[in-house]
Every structure is written in C-alpha cells, then in structure tokens.
C-alpha cells in the first residue's frame, strides 16, 4: 500500500511535508490531470497515474470534496481494470470516506482490499484505526495486533510503521480509561516518529502530540499532588503549541488538523487559567472548523461553546463582557450559518441558530439575533419534544430583549 495510517488518520503518503510546496505542486498536477483527462480520457494509464499523484496531494491538504468528485468516476474504472488500479482506487475512496468520518463505508472498502491482496501491516493498521473510530475496540485491538505480526514478517519496514501501530493501541487504552498505559504507548510512538522525522516538522509527531496532551489533561484531573498536576497541564500546553506549529508548516494554517490542535491548545490553556490566550485559540479553531470540507455541526457546537465558556469565565472574574470580540466572531458565525442552512432543518440546526443568535446579541446586532432566534423557535416548535422546552423558553426571553432593544433604538433621537 502506498498509504499508511497513524493516529487514527489514514496517513497521507511519504511526501515532502511543507504546505507551500504542496500547493504549488497541486496546481501543476491539477493542470496536467485536466489536460490528460481531456485528451486521453480517464480510462488511461497515464491519466490515472497522474490522478493518484494528485490524490496524494489533495488528501494531505484535505481537499475532500475534490477527491470525492473525481473518485465517483475513477473507482468504477479501476474496479473494471482490476489489479493494482483496483486496489489504488478503492484505497483512495476508503481514505477519503475515512476523513469524512464515514467509517462504516470505509471499513467495507478496507475489507474489499483485504480480499484482493490479503493482510499487510499498513492495511491492518488502517482497519484497526477505523474500528477504533467506530467504537469497536475488540476488532480494533485484533487488527492492531495483526499489524504488529505482519510487521515482524515484513523485512525493511521503518520505525514509523511500528510507531503508528503503537499509537493505535495507545488510543484504545485511552478510550478504555487506561490512561497510564495509554500515555506510555503514545509517548513511545511519538519518540519513534521523532526519530523518523530527523529534526524536521512532522504531522505524525503532532498527531501523537495531540493524544499525549489529551491524556495528560485526563490524568491531571485524577492527580492529587498539586505540583504534579500543574506539571502535567504545563506539558499539555507545550505539546499543543508544538502541534499547532507543526500542522501549520506541514498541512497549512487552514488545515482541519490545525483547527483540532488549536482547540486542544485552548483547552490546555484554559485549564491553567490562561483564559485570554485560550480565547484566541478557540476563535481561530472555530473559524477553521466553519470552513472545512467535512463540515461537522457537533464539532462546531463544541468549539462555539468552548469559546463562549471562556468569555463567561472572564466575566466571572470581574471583567466586562468583551462585545468587540463577539462582533469579530460574526463573520465566522456567518460562514457556519451558510453551511448549517444546507443541512436538514431540524432541532440540531435550531440549536445552532440559537447559539448564533446569542453571539449576535452579545455583539449588539439585535436585528440579526432576533431573526436567528425566530428561526430556532420555528424548528424547536416542529420538534414538539420536552427536551427543547428549556431552549424555547430561553429563545423567547432573549428574542423579547432583542426586539425591545431594537424598538428602543428606533425611538431614540438620532445624534
């Protein structure tokens, strides 16, 4: 397999990890692919080979919509051709679906590859990560152990391959609540990734670093020794700062991985009481989450609530509400709203309209706030569920306040 998986992400190929260079190469390959596609068609060796080079670039840069658009045509061609192209086409589709969090569809395709070529360390590792993401930890552990056996039989494999499998096993220990064992496995994994990177920025070092930081924060909650607790939290901040820096260089400042690392950094900073810095990280993460191809409303709601919670923390400590910051968030909220309006309009969409309305109210944009709260109420009323009663009450109260503020502003003499 040309791709290998690490830290729950099917890995993005052994290419040069510098986002600026990748974007230049992406443009060159896109031009070449379009020319070959027009002149020779898709069902052509050279066109397909160029596409798979381009796919490596797109998947690294998270151009998931571009990948899916072409793969819809490419995969049937590859299946008809059979052989190496069959494997490459199905593998590319499996990776793309994985990154879109469509794990059930992805695992079926990995099994299709297993039927074609048998087990390999990289394939078993991919399957382990996929089962882990689906919450099927028994199957995940089985495939990670199988990956280690395959690795022992495959001559000349790099340390990074063992590192990825150790990371997968560490993630399972974490999900089972075995935090000490998880931390040991993930630390060993990151050490091996660092050896492989040889001093260069590496997305794999950062992916392992994200897991280390999350586990440290979980252990810190259980730690009774205050000094040890602070040391864990400080190390989590240090790891997350490095993660953000590495992802920015290797995947780009607008990568979903950068967004995840910024959120993790914000959570670590907030834990240590560095709320102002946490707010900056959450705000950047929110903006990136709103723009990414694989839009996830749950992730948007989570980072929105983290940002809101950090601001409320400053208010608790006697600071005035920072309305200027809330005004600066409205463009991000606007991007997210456009995405949510293209989704199914149900109580989940309503929940976002409600929190977006709250942000607009804090920004003193009462007209926008009132409109959003009204949309939320319409969707909550369709639901007719006791669970939304509290949301309905809060929406109505805030909408009344916004409408009163609009009326008061209209009645006030203009200066």
The 10s digit of each residue's pLDDT in 24-82 is: 899 999 999 999 999 999 999 999 999 999 999 999 888 999 999 999 999 999 999 99
Does residue 12 carry a pLDDT above 70? Answer: no
2 or 183: which leads in pLDDT: 183
- pLDDT of amino acid 364: 96
Contact 48, 78 (CB under 8 A): yes
- pLDDT of amino acid 348: 93
Q: Using a CB cutoff of 8 Å and minimum separation of 24, what contacts does 29-32 make?
A: 29/53, 29/54, 29/57, 30/54
For the segment 82-96, the average pLDDT, to the nearest whole number, is 96
Question: What is the SS3 string spanning 286-354?
Answer: HHHHHHCCCCCHHHHHHHHHHHHHHHHHHHHCCCCCCHHHHHHHHHHHHHHHHHHHCCCCCHHHHHHHH
Does residue 11 carry a pLDDT above 70? Answer: no
Considering only CA atoms, which of 39, 192, 181, 12 is closest in space to residue 99? 12
- pLDDT of amino acid 156: 59
Contacts of 386 (CB under 8 A, 6+ apart): none
* pLDDT confidence band for 15 (50 / 70 / 90): very low
15 alpha carbon, distance to own chain's centre: 21
Contact 144, 161 (CB under 8 A): no
- pLDDT of amino acid 116: 93
Q: Which tokens belong to 287?
A: 């903006």
Q: How far apart are CA 150 and CA 160, in angstroms?
A: 14
User: What digits encode the pLDDT tens for the residues 176-216?
Assistant: 899 999 999 999 999 999 999 999 999 999 999 999 999 99
User: What digits encode the pLDDT tens for the residues 100-152?
Assistant: 999 999 999 999 999 999 988 889 999 999 999 999 998 998 999 899 888 88
In this prediction the pTM is 0.77
- pLDDT of amino acid 19: 75
* pLDDT confidence band for 13 (50 / 70 / 90): very low
Does residue 9 carry a pLDDT above 50? Answer: no
For the segment 264-288, the average pLDDT, to the nearest whole number, is 97
Q: Rg of the chain over CA atoms, in angstroms?
A: 24
Phi and psi at 250, nearest 5°, equal -90, -30
- pLDDT of amino acid 145: 87
Does residue 415 carry a pLDDT above 60? Answer: no
């Amino acid at each position: 397999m040309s791709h290998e998986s690490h830290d729950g992400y099917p890995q993005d190929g052994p290419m040069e990890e510098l986002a600026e260079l990748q974007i230049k190469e992406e443009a060159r390959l896109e031009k070449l692919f379009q020319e070959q596609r027009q002149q020779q068609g898709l069902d052509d060796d050279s066109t397909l080979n160029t596409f798979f080079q381009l796919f490596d670039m797109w998947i690294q840069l998270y151009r998931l919509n571009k990948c899916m658009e072409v793969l819809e045509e490419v995969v049937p061609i590859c299946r008809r051709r059979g052989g190496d192209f069959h494997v490459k086409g199905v593998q590319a589709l499996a990776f793309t679906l994985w990154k879109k969090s469509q794990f059930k569809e992805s695992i079926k395709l990995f099994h299709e590859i297993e039927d074609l070529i048998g087990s390999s360390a990289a394939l078993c590792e991919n399957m382990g990560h996929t089962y882990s993401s689906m919450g099927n930890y028994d199957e995940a552990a089985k495939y990670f152990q199988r990956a280690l056996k395959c690795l022992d039989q495959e001559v000349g494999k790099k340390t990074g391959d063992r590192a990825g499998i150790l990371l997968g096993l560490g993630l399972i220990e974490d999900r089972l609540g075995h935090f000490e064992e998880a931390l040991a496995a993930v630390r060993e994994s990151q050490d091996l990734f660092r050896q492989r990177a040889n001093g260069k920025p590496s997305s794999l070092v950062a992916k392992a670093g994200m897991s280390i930081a999350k586990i440290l924060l979980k252990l810190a909650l259980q730690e009774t020794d205050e000094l040890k607790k602070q040391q864990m939290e400080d190390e989590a901040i240090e790891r997350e700062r490095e993660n953000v820096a590495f992802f920015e260089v290797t995947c780009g400042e607008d990568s979903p991985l950068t967004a995840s690392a910024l959120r993790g950094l914000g959570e670590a900073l907030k834990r240590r009481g560095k709320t102002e810095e946490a707010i900056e990280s959450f705000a950047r993460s929110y903006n990136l989450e709103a723009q990414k191809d694989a839009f996830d409303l749950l992730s948007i709601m989570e980072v929105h609530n983290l940002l809101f919670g950090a601001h409320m923390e400053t208010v608790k400590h006697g600071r005035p509400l920072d309305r200027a910051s809330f005004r600066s968030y409205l463009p991000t909220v606007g991007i997210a709203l456009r995405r949510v309006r293209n989704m199914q309009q149900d109580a989940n969409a309503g929940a976002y309209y409600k929190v977006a309305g709250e942000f607009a109210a804090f920004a003193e944009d009462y007209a926008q706030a009132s409109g959003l709260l009204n949309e939320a109420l319409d969707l909550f009323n369709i639901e007719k569920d006791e669970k939304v009663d509290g949301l309905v009450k809060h929406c109505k109260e805030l909408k009344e306040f916004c409408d009163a503020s609009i009326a008061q502003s209209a009645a006030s003499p203009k200066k």
